[in-house]
Chain A
Amino acid sequence: MGKKTQKMKSITKSKTKSHKQKVKAHKKNKNISKTKHRPKLRSESQDKFQKPKAPLNEYLAIRSNYNAIQFIFECGIKLGLKHITICSAAVYFHRFYKHVDENSYDKYSIASATLYLASKVQDETIRLRDLINVSYHTLHRDAAPLRLAEDYWNFRDSIVNTEMLIIRYLQFDTTFNHPHSYFLHYVQTIRPVFYSKHGKDVIVFKKAYDFLHDFYHSSAILQYKPQHIAIACLELAIKVYGIPSQIIDYEKQPWYQALVEDLDKVTLWNVMTAIMDTYDLEPTTN
C-alpha cells in the first residue's frame, strides 16, 4: 500500500525534482515510522479491502449527544465548512433532540443530516458523496471508503430522509441567532481598553472563542440570549487568565454593562456555569 501511494503522490504532486525527492523521502520516513508504531496496519487494511469492518472507535463506543456534536465538528472541519455552518448543525441537533427521545434514532445519522442541512442553509452546499465519505471515515477510521454499492446508497437515502425528518421537527425554522457576531463585536470593543499594552490578549480571546465553540456541545446553548453567551465566554476567559485589576472594578461597574444592558450578575453566572458544565458532559475514556 505504501509503495502505491508513494507512486501516486509522485505522479500528481511532483513539480521539481528536488520537491519530488523531498516528498519521496518524507513519505518513506513516514512509512517507516508508521510501520514501527502500528505494525498491524498493513494486514488490517488488506482484510478491510474485502469487507470493511472497523474496530469500535470512541464514537461508536459511546453514543452520547456530546460525542455526536464532537462528530459534527470533526466532520465539518474535515469538509472545510465555515464555523457558523458547523455551529448551525449543532444547534439543529440540539433542537431535534429537544423533541425526540434519546434512543429513537441513530445519533450519527442525525448528525450527518444536520451538517447537510446546515450547509444548504448557509449557502455552502456540500456534495452528499463527500459527506458520506467523511462521515463514514470518521466512524470507521481504518476502513476503506464505502464502495458504490448497497451500503452506500442506503447511507445516502438515510441522510436525505433524515434531513426531511429533522426539518419537520424544526418546523422549517432554520434560523438561529449565533453569539459569534456579538462576540467579535465585543472583542473589538474591549480589546484596546483591557489589553492594549499586554501580550496576553490573544490568548484570552482565543480561549474565550474556544469556550464559545465548546458550549455548542451542550443543549444549554439554546436557552440563553446570544449576547449573554458571548459576554459569559469572555468573562470566563478573563477570570481564567486574570485581568489587570486597576482597569475594571467589578464593585463599581462590571465591564460588560457598557455592552449589554439586560445582563445581571445571576444570569451571567448561570451562563458561565452552563459553559463549565459542558466539560462534564465529555465521556471519560479509560
Chain B
Amino acid sequence: MASSNNNNNNNLNNVNGVITPPSTPSPNPLQMNMAREREKYLEEYNFPFCEAATKYEKLAKIGQGTFGEVFKARDKKNLKRMVAMKKILMENEKEGFPITALREIRILQLLKHDNVVNLLEICQTRANQFNRYRSTFYLVFEFCEHDLAGLLSNTKVKFSLGEIKQVIQQMLNGLYYIHSNKILHRDMKAANVLITKLGTLKLADFGLARAFSAQKNGQPNRYTNRVVTLWYRPPELLLGDRNYGPPVDLWGAGCIMAEMWTRSPIMQGNSEQQQLTLISQLCGSITPDVWPKVESLDLYNQLELVKGQKRKVKERLKPYVRDPMGCDLIDKLLVLDPAKRFDADSALNHDFFWTDPMPCDLSRMLSQQTQSNFEYLAPRRLNNHQSSSMRPTSSTSSQSSSTSTTSGFHERVF
C-alpha cells in the first residue's frame, strides 16, 4: 500500500513533466497542437478556491467501501494536524460531478454539530497526463481516532455502563440534530460512528444521506428503499417502503446500542429474506396487529414472514444487557412499526440516561488506547462464538453460520 501511495504522490508532483502526446494518434498537426495547448492549460490552471491535495501527506488507508477510499493524512505545514481524506469516486465521469457527492457535500455543509463529522474543505489533485487530465477530489474531515466497530471488535476495550450511556446519548444527540435539520442518515452502523480520542462521538459517512420532507400535496414520497447496510436495515425498508422517515435511523441506533454489549451486530442476515426472519425471531412476527399499516407495503405479500413468533427482545438481550433500563430502551428502539418506534427526542428522555450511573466521560478509558481502532484495520470480528446465542436455533442457523464469517463488514447491498 505504501508503494502505491508513493506512486500517487509522484504523480501529483509531476506537474511540470514533459507532456506526452495523446495516445490516440491524431491526423492533423494543428489539432494535436491544440490538444497539447489545452493539456498544458489544464495542468497549469490554478483554481483560486480549491486547494491542492498535495498540502496533505497521506499516512495510511483507514477505510474502503462502495463509497471509495478513506485515508489518514497530515497537514504538511502543521505536522500535528491530522485529517481524514475521503476520495470522491468519479465512476460516471461522463455525467459530470456525481450527484451523490454533491448531495453529501451539501448535507455536510449544512450540518455543524459536535456529534456530526466536520467537513473542513474539499481538495483536488492537479490535472495531468496520468489522470487523463481529470482532477480527483477529496473531502477533508477532521480526524477521529476510532470508529465504534473497531473499538467493539477490540476485546481489550471495555466500556463501563456510564461510558456506554455516554456513547448512546451522543449518538442520539447527533441523530436528533440531523433529523431536526430534515436529513436522514440512511446508513447507521457501528463503522459509521466515529469517536475521537477525547471521547466525542461523530456520526459519519453521509454518502447515502438525503433531505426528507413531509408528504408533498398529499403525494407519498418515493425514496429508494435500497439503503442501509443489511444488518442494520429496519423492517419497513425490507418490506419495500418508499415513504419512510427518521425511524429508519433509530432502528439502526437500536442495533448499535445492543451491540455495545453483544460486541457484534445482533442480526447478521445474508439476504433480505433472512434478515426479516431474524428480525421476526427477535421482535416477534410482523402482523397487522402490531403494525397496522404493514399490509400496504409492497413486499408484504411477496416475502415469507414467519408466523407465531413472540416478541422477546428483552429476554434475549438480558444475558448481555444487565441494566434493565438499557434493555427497555433497546426494546423501545427495535419496534417493528416505525410509527411507534421511539424518536431521538423521546429516547434521550428515557430514564436510562437519567439514572445512576450517569453518562460519564470517555477520554480516560480511551487514553489507554495508543492505537486507532478502525473496523477496516481490525481483524475480522469473531461473530460465531459470541453471537451464537443471539442467533436462534432455527432451520436457518446452519446456513447463516457459514455465511456470517464470510460477509465482510463493508457489505452494502444495493
Contact = CB atoms under 8 A, between A and B. Distances in A.
Interface stretch (A30-38, A162-170, A254-262): A162-170
Contact of A159 (B50, B96, B102, B124): B96
Interface in B79-105: 93-97, 99, 102, 105
Contacts of A172: 105, 109, 122
A31 B391 CA distance: 75
A249 interface: no
Interface in B31-54: 47-50
A89 to B, nearest CB: 14
Contacts of B318: none
Interface in A153-190: 156, 159-160, 163-164, 167-169, 171-175
B322 interface: no
A173 B109 contact: yes
A62 interface: no
A164 B49 contact: no
Contacts of B339: none
Contact of A171 (B49, B94, B95, B106): B49
A272 to B, nearest CB: 31
A164 B122 CA distance: 13
Q: How large is the interface on A (under 10, 10 to 19, 20 to 34, 35 or more residues)?
A: 20 to 34
A167 B99 CA distance: 12
A99 B97 contact: no
Contacts of A116: 96
A168 B47 contact: yes
Interface in A90-132: 99, 116-117, 120-121, 125, 128
Contacts of B105: 172, 174
Contacts of B214: none
Contacts of A99: 48-49
Contacts of A173: 109
Residue of A120, A121, A128, A169 most packed against chain B (CB within 10 A): A120
A168 B50 contact: yes
A129 to B, nearest CB: 11
B110 interface: yes
B19 to A, nearest CB: 18
A205 B407 CA distance: 60
B110 A171 contact: no
A175 B96 contact: no
Contacts of B47: 168-169
A169 B96 CA distance: 15
A173 B95 CA distance: 19
A120 B102 contact: yes
A174 B48 contact: no
B110 A175 contact: yes
A167 B106 contact: no
B96 A121 contact: no
Given A172-B105, A172-B122, A175-B110, A160 B96 contact: yes
Contacts of A171: 49-50, 122
Contacts of A163: 96-97
A213 to B, nearest CB: 22
Given A128-B95, A160-B94, A172-B122, A121 B50 contact: no
Nearest to B105: A172
B41 to A, nearest CB: 12
Contact of A168 (B94, B102, B106, B124): B124
A258 B254 CA distance: 46
A121 B49 contact: no
A8 B50 CA distance: 51
Given A120-B102, A175-B110, A168 B95 contact: no
Interface string B329-355: 000000000000000000000000000
Nearest to B94: A160
B109 to A, nearest CB: 6
Contacts of A160: 93-96
A93 to B, nearest CB: 17
B219 to A, nearest CB: 15
A123 to B, nearest CB: 8
Contacts of A168: 47, 49-50, 124
A173 B94 CA distance: 22
Contacts of B110: 175
A171 B105 CA distance: 11
A117 B97 CA distance: 8
Contacts of B93: 160
A125 B95 CA distance: 10
Interface in B107-126: 109-110, 122, 124
Contacts of A117: 96-97
B99 A120 contact: yes
Contacts of B94: 156, 160
A200 B190 CA distance: 60
Contact of A164 (B48, B97, B99, B109): B97
A169 B50 CA distance: 8
A163 B98 CA distance: 11
A121 B97 contact: no
B127 to A, nearest CB: 10
Given A116-B96, A168-B47, A175-B106, 11 more contacts: A117-B96, A120-B99, A120-B102, A121-B106, A160-B93, A160-B94, A164-B96, A167-B97, A168-B49, A168-B50, A171-B122
24 contacts: A116-B96, A117-B96, A117-B97, A120-B96, A120-B97, A120-B99, A120-B102, A121-B102, A121-B106, A128-B95, A156-B94, A159-B96, A160-B94, A160-B95, A164-B96, A164-B97, A167-B97, A169-B48, A169-B49, A171-B122, A172-B105, A175-B106, A175-B109, A175-B110
Interface of B: 47-50, 93-97, 99, 102, 105-106, 109-110, 122, 124, 135
The 3 closest A-B pairs by CB, nearest first: A160-B96, A171-B49, A168-B50
